[in-house]
Amino acid sequence: AQKVTQAQTEISVVEKEDVTLDCVYETRDTTYYLFWYKQPPSGELVFLIRRNSFDEQNEISGRYSWNFQKSTSSFNFTITASQVVDSAVYFCALSGPSYQLTFGKGTKLSVIP
């Protein structure tokens, strides 16, 4: 069985602060993919990143960065210099051979101006 845990239910930061969203996963599959999605107040899930289980290289995209550590089964997401537009619910998700995504419960991020 697959499981994704996002222990932080809600986080509030002041604009321009850095924030890290935690994600811990469980799977018995040797090949799997990890994802992050953003769900703004409008409701539509927006794809942010995909990472496969064989690639532990960290990735940076603008203000976003991701830290994948297989040894601790974690795939954390950091937003640098947060902005009000970053306010949303962020979901970490896991996919195995069956293609279905298993999502965590999400972390609601509020960026206060």
Partner 1 sequence: DTGVSQDPRHKITKRGQNVTFRCDPISEHNRLYWYRQTLGQGPEFLTYFQNEAQLEKSRLLSDRFSAERPKGSFSTLEIQHTEQGDSAMYLCASSLAGLAAYNEQFFGPGTRLTVL
Residue numbers at the binding site for partner 1 (CB under 8 A): 4, 31-33, 35, 37, 42-47, 50, 52, 91, 93, 95, 97-106
When the beta carbons of 11 and 101 are compared against partner 1, the nearer one is: 101
For residues 56-88, one letter each, b for 16 or more C-beta atoms within 10 angstroms of the residue's C-beta and e for the rest, the string is eeeeeeeebbbbbeeeebbbbbbbeebeeebbb
Minimum distance of partner 1 from residue 16's CB (angstroms): 28
Minimum distance of partner 1 from residue 81's CB (angstroms): 26
When the beta carbons of 5 and 74 are compared against partner 1, the nearer one is: 5
When the beta carbons of 4 and 88 are compared against partner 1, the nearer one is: 4
Of the candidates 94, 60, 92, the residue with the CA atom closest to the CA atom of residue 79: 60
Minimum distance of partner 1 from residue 96's CB (angstroms): 8
Tokens of 12: 């509030």
DSSP lists the bridge partners of residue 3 as 26
